[in-house]
Amino acid sequence: MTLRFLSNLQHSSSKGLAKCAICGKVEEQTGTFPLVIGVGRVCLADGMTKVKCDVCGDDVKLLTSSRLQGRALCLKDYMKEVEKFRQHIVQSFDEDDEPATTILERAYTKAPEGYTLLAVRRGRNSTHMWEAEYEKTEIFQMRCS
């Protein structure tokens, strides 16, 4: 039951039998080795081993971890790290909750750290929603130089 559930979570990227990235064992049936981001396909025995998150220090199973830039990360810290690399962010504001002038001011003064405001515009197909689009400051400066 658990094996079937795990294999349904991760699709197989190849049509052949996968080989465990840790021990080298070859799967008996296609799609039974789940994918660990940054590691590859692993057998369940190796997937259940504990690894330490390099950011928070928690012990997590290899199956519920990811490797990013050579570091083992738990899911929470992986999502934080991935968020740092996002180039564009769009925030929504509702004109029913606050006037448009306040939205414009807040979009400019409350920009996420490390981002530059590119535009404030009406949300698509909306009469009351506004969208503020931000871009990583380094990317913005490179494009404008």
Q: What is the CATH number of the domain that holds 63?
A: 2.10.110
User: What percent of the chain lies above the pLDDT cut of 70?
Assistant: 89
Query: Same domain for 16 and 61?
Result: yes
The number of distinct structural domains making up the chain is 2
Domain of residue 69, residue span: 2-83
Distance CA 3, CA 40 (A): 17
Of 29, 27, 31, whose CA–CA distance to 11 is shortest?
31
Q: What is the pLDDT of residues 87-142, one digit of tens each?
A: 888 999 999 999 989 999 999 999 888 899 999 999 988 889 999 999 988 878 87
Confidence of residue 15 (pLDDT cuts 50, 70, 90): low
95 contacts 103 by C-beta, under 8 angstroms: yes
Query: Same domain for 93 and 68?
Result: no
Confidence of residue 55 (pLDDT cuts 50, 70, 90): very high
Query: Same domain for 72 and 18?
Result: yes
Distance CA 13, CA 15 (A): 7
Query: Same domain for 11 and 68?
Result: yes
| Span 12-21, average pLDDT | 75
CB atoms inside a 10 Å sphere around CB 35: 17
